[in-house]
Amino acid sequence: MFLNEKYLFGGDEQWLQSGWTSSDDRVRGGYSISHLTCHANMAVFHGNLDIEALGGAGFASQRTVGNDRTWDLSGYDGLLLHIAEADGKKYTLAVKDEILPKSPNGREQSTMSWEYEFEPKKDGEKIHLTWGELNPTYRGREKKDAEPLDLKRVKRFSLMMRRYLLTFSSWGYSVKLDLESVLAGAMFRVLGCDHNRLAFCSDIHAGQVSALE
């Protein structure tokens, strides 16, 4: 449980339709399509996933827009997802701390992502995750020697459904996830850890934990 929470999307920070855009496999020749429909008290991530094109590497995702946006999350220990309604499928939440200028062909250049896969089991579920549970990836592949996530300058959030997360095959598979909110949460501080970058200590010894003020 988090002792202190800050709304990033939803709640005090209302979901905005203009704040999100699609980033689907169509940029690579696929046929998946996604939408994020924002309401007063929730956002609905929905669409169809093409699981045959691109050799089974299809994906449907929504991401925040604006290269000038920055979230300073250095004072927090992780994220809290409030799931309003779940479809029983596995999704990916991704975070970036760098957005490069577009390449000459107009496409975005690849940068590191820190990802967390989650599978809500019921409506109304709350999913807590610490920064240490995010996996560093580059172009969809794990990168174990990655520099830590810069929590002082988070630049982008994404929601994604990937083909490999499904356990069966049928073309045009529909996805739907209703999110009430996404929050940053402060839980505790491990003495000696640097929260300005992703250095959340996994080994917690007696006497090393103090509640955040």
pTM above threshold 0.75: yes
Sequence-separated (6 or more) residues with CB below 8 Å from residue 105: none
25-51 residue pLDDT tens: 887 778 889 999 999 899 999 998 877
Q: Which fold has domain 4-210?
A: Jelly Rolls (2.60.120)
Q: What are the extents of the domains in the chain?
A: 4-210
48-98 residue pLDDT tens: 887 776 666 778 999 999 988 999 999 999 999 999 999 888 899 999 999
